[in-house]
Chain A
Amino acid sequence: MSDARILDRGYRAYEGSRSGVAGAVRSVAWHTVRSILGLGRKGRHKVFPVVVIVIGFVPAVAFLAIAILLGDFGDEVRPEYWEFFNFSVMAALVFTALVAPEAIVRDRRDGMYALYLSTPLTRPTYLLAKVIAVAGTLSIITAGPALLAFLGYTFQGLGPEGVVDGIWVGARVVLAGVAISVIYTAVSLGASSLTDRRAFASVAVILLMLGLSLATALMVDAAGMTESLRLLDPLGTPLEIPARLFGNRTVEYIDIGTLPVVLANLGWLLLGAGTLVYRYRRLAAV
């Protein structure tokens, strides 16, 4: 009978190493991306995010197709890389207003926030994970069309000459897309941190982004006031980043220097992120 042994009671001690805070951030960020996109969830949860992303690509694909079909004759109509960022702005707005708030509001409602804070995560690292997830997903919409154009042009021989040039163009496209995404994310999550109700967060983001955009446009175009007012538009100002990175200015911001544009974008980023951090510092975990 000496070889009778109880081998496994279904629950064992764990001796291996633990991944710590970095692993926790990675796990939460990936989990958030999946839930934003509705991966691993029922079909109806996938519809909305997928539609938003598709809408973001439609205008870019159309222009790209025309430009490529026309070949060299299309020089006149062929949009530049930075112009592609404007094509997906409505999709980005819908994402920012209706999808992004879900990333943090839900955790507070369904108890995940308290659970996360009981792990190696802290408030700042938790928020970092959320920003990475939301801005990363949003970058598909913001940088995606221009990246597509970059690939399309390159295959057609209309793209940048040489590897170094290619990397330089690609890097600027990605940088611009990420910058826009981070600013939109900051504004959206900042507004979402003010309320426990996703609907109010959506209303707030719409009022802030669309309302200010309309208001500043009316003030400049209808009332003829100074163009600098456009820097108060959190929807349009970040879109100036790709233009400046590619050495251009959009018509709306033509008289505004690059420094004010950078400062205004930095301002929106800090306003959103500051609100977010301030609110969460005061938010009790349990």
Chain B
Amino acid sequence: MSAGTSMRVVEPLRALRLTYRVVLAQLVTRGRLAALVLVGAVVAAVAAAVGVSDEIDDPLEAAVRVIADLGFTALVPIVALVFATAALGDLRDDGTLVYLWLRPMDRWPVVAGAWAAAVTVGLPLTVIPLGVASVLVDGGGALVGATVLAGVVAVIAYSALFLLAGLLVRNAIVWGLAYVLVWEGIVAGYGNIPARMSVRGYTRSIITSRTGVDLDLGDLSLAPSVIVPLVAAAVALLLAARRLRSMDIA
């Protein structure tokens, strides 16, 4: 109990790494992985089927449809939803957040570490099957590049948004599901402003701008379609750090 021990603090980068490791260990369960790998495999299989088919008039359009409809409306948001809402939300709900909170550490590295963990699981589960799908679907190099780019941007953005949601509300996964199905799936189609407020609008814009195939909502040029979601992610993470500082811990 010397003066030296009382001054112990954990440096931010170390705090980030510690959070990252423990959140990753909590997130990666065999059940979740198996289920979502299976979903990715189905997407890739459908892509392969479309790729080898010779009964299609416009192969590129069919290919883009598979990637956009299956990949970016279902696979990416749901994978990000499952992991990002759990990243800090599960810790808060079950009462383990205190083991990262009551520590000589800053708040932002905890948020950043948890987000990095969610992205670490989310990326391979989405970008690999979608990348494979974009190759199998035989839509050309532009589609592969667009798919990977849009996948990375989408996972980063969805993960940050859903992580914040996990800290703000209970049952974040149900709210997130409603956002994905109702807002992005239905409301976004009815106007410019809702479209600009859905990640889906930007991922579709990336694909449209790189492949030239017209998609609903996909009417932005490449630069803003990449930058806006990344900025949104950063803002969401800042808000999450503020929330973590001010919230009640069980």
Contacts and interface: CB of A to CB of B under 8 A. Distances in A.
Interface of A: 194-195, 197, 199-200, 202-204, 206-207, 210-212, 214-215, 218-219, 222-225
A191 to B, nearest CB: 9
Contact of A199 (B50, B56, B74, B174): B174
B149 interface: no
A195 B53 CA distance: 38
A208 to B, nearest CB: 9
Contacts of A223: 46, 49-53, 55-56, 62
A225 B35 CA distance: 25
Interface residues of B, number: 30
Given A200-B173, A215-B43, A225-B53, A194 B65 contact: no
Interface of A is mostly: helix
A197 B55 CA distance: 43
B206 interface: no
Interface string B32-68: 1001000100110110011111111000001001100
Interface of B: 31-32, 35, 39, 42-43, 45-46, 49-56, 62, 65-66, 69-70, 74, 78, 81-82, 171, 173-174, 177, 181
23 contacts: A194-B31, A199-B171, A199-B173, A203-B173, A204-B35, A206-B78, A206-B177, A211-B74, A214-B74, A215-B70, A218-B46, A218-B49, A218-B69, A218-B70, A219-B50, A222-B50, A222-B53, A222-B62, A222-B65, A223-B50, A224-B55, A224-B56, A225-B49
A124 to B, nearest CB: 24
A215 B46 contact: yes
A195 B43 contact: no
Given A218-B69, A224-B53, 15 more contacts: A199-B171, A203-B81, A207-B35, A207-B74, A210-B74, A212-B42, A215-B46, A218-B49, A218-B66, A219-B46, A222-B56, A222-B62, A223-B49, A225-B49, A225-B53
